[in-house]
Amino acid sequence: MAKNHAGHPASYALGIDLGGTKTLAAVIDVSTGAVIASARKRTKAERGQDFVARRVVEVARAALEAADLRNGRELLAVGIGAAGQIDRQAGVILEAPNLGVRDMPVAALLSAEFERPVAVGNDVEVAALGEYLHGAGRTYKNFVCVFIGTGIGAGIIQNGRLYTGLSGTAGEIGHITVEASGRICGCGARGCLEAYASRTAITRAILAEIHHGRKSVLADEALLQLKGGETIIRSGLLASAIQQNDELVIEVVSEAADYLGYGLASIINFYNPEAIILGGGVIEAIDLLFERAVRRARTVALSLPARQTPIVRTRLGDFSGVVGAACLAAQAAGYRLRESEEQSIEE
């Protein structure tokens, strides 16, 4: 077992965030939420399920090496949050449209590779857990954490515990209908929030307008995206275009923010949480998206909860998911967190 700076056995676990755009892994001190070392690479889901599986192991090993740990047996456990529908007991990713993955036995894969206990959860629910334990949710017992990335999902903390619902799919805010008979979503339905406010949706809208002759500072980037087979314009490029007063990008991001605001207003009206916490690369990078979505939510939602519900950004940023995944795995392996934290991840 690795030692901490005081010479005592360190409470280290490996957390992995498997997303549609990137895979991030980090060694976490679960007692504090501190990131000891991390590694990340593009997921490249278009290369197929076998490649994604190899990528997960590759990034995990890179994080261990960066932390100067020889192998996985020095860890308490390994946790992974993956985009999609999860069989938590079996440790299988049942279906993940944004990853191109189906029936992937990720727990067995990681257990064989690192010889440690493995816990598997949905990427956004473990991110919500990370924010609850060590981030912006520490002062709340009931909140919803919404992440905007390749898709849109939410994690729900109810009475200090993760709430996953009857079938384990609670929090699929990206698949509420915001436009009847609207755009086709990756799930197959029409008019989903994800088809209007995700980074994928923003990218597609910008590319479509550029291809119809609209001018944008991202025009060259759009051509590169097409030639390289990519489907996502990075958040930093979107933010830079907005800073340059790019009319097209501002228009598309503003529309996405309005739709996101409708989704947030629905959460406020239906669930009446103590807070909504927003995360994901576009939220972190683009003030316009965050601020306009919050304004729209407060305009559309019922007036009393609209005034009272805090809507804030994550505190852990990109590391919400890996911190939550590591904590989930450590507790499942028998590590005792503080009492209030332990309650948050009990079944």
Which distant-in-sequence residues (6+ apart) come within 8 Å of 104 by Cβ? 49, 52, 53, 92, 93, 96
Is the Cβ–Cβ distance between 144 and 158 less than 8 Å? no
- Name, in order, each residue with C-beta under 8 angstroms of 339's C-beta and a sequence gap of 6 or more: none
Strand partners, 171: none
How many other β-carbons are positioned within 10 Å of the β-carbon of residue 288? 18
Predicted local confidence at residue 322, as pLDDT? 97
Structure tokens at 183: 């755009």
| SS3 at position 241 | helix
Taking the C-alpha atoms of residue 284 and residue 287, their distance in angstroms, rounded to an integer, is 7
Decide: 218 and 206 in contact? Cβ < 8 Å.
Answer: yes
In 113-231, DSSP assigns E strands to 118-122, 143-148, 152-158, 161-163
Domains of the chain: 12-129+319-333 (3.30.420.40), 140-314 (3.30.420.40)
Distance CA 91, CA 43 (A): 20
Strands (E), the chain: 12-18, 22-29, 34-42, 78-82, 85-87, 92-96, 101-104, 118-122, 143-148, 152-158, 161-163, 275-279, 311-313
Most distant CA pair in the chain: distance in Å? 63
User: CA 136: distance to chain centroid?
Assistant: 15
C-alpha distances in angstroms, 164 versus 116, 182, 187?
Answer: 25, 28, 19
CA distance linking residue 13 with residue 322, whole number of Å:
10
Q: Give the count of beta carbons closer than 10 Å to the beta carbon of residue 256.
A: 25
Q: What is the pLDDT of residue 223?
A: 56
- Residue 9's DSSP bridge partners are 3
Contact 80, 325 (CB under 8 A): yes
Position 229 scores a pLDDT of: 53
Retrieve residue 168's tokens.
């384990």
Cα separation of 319 and 161, whole Å? 20
Cβ–Cβ < 8 Å for 39, 14: no
Give the three-state DSSP class for 13: strand
Q: What are phi and psi of 27, to 5 degrees?
A: -85, 125
Q: Which residues of the chain have pLDDT under 70?
A: 1-10, 71, 221-231, 338-347
Whole-angstrom Cα distance, residue 150 to residue 19? 8
CB atoms within 10 A of CB 177: 15
Side by side, which strands form the sheet with 275-279? 161-163, 152-158, 143-148, 275-279, 311-313
Q: Which pLDDT score is estimated for 7?
A: 39
User: What is the reported pLDDT for 254?
Assistant: 98
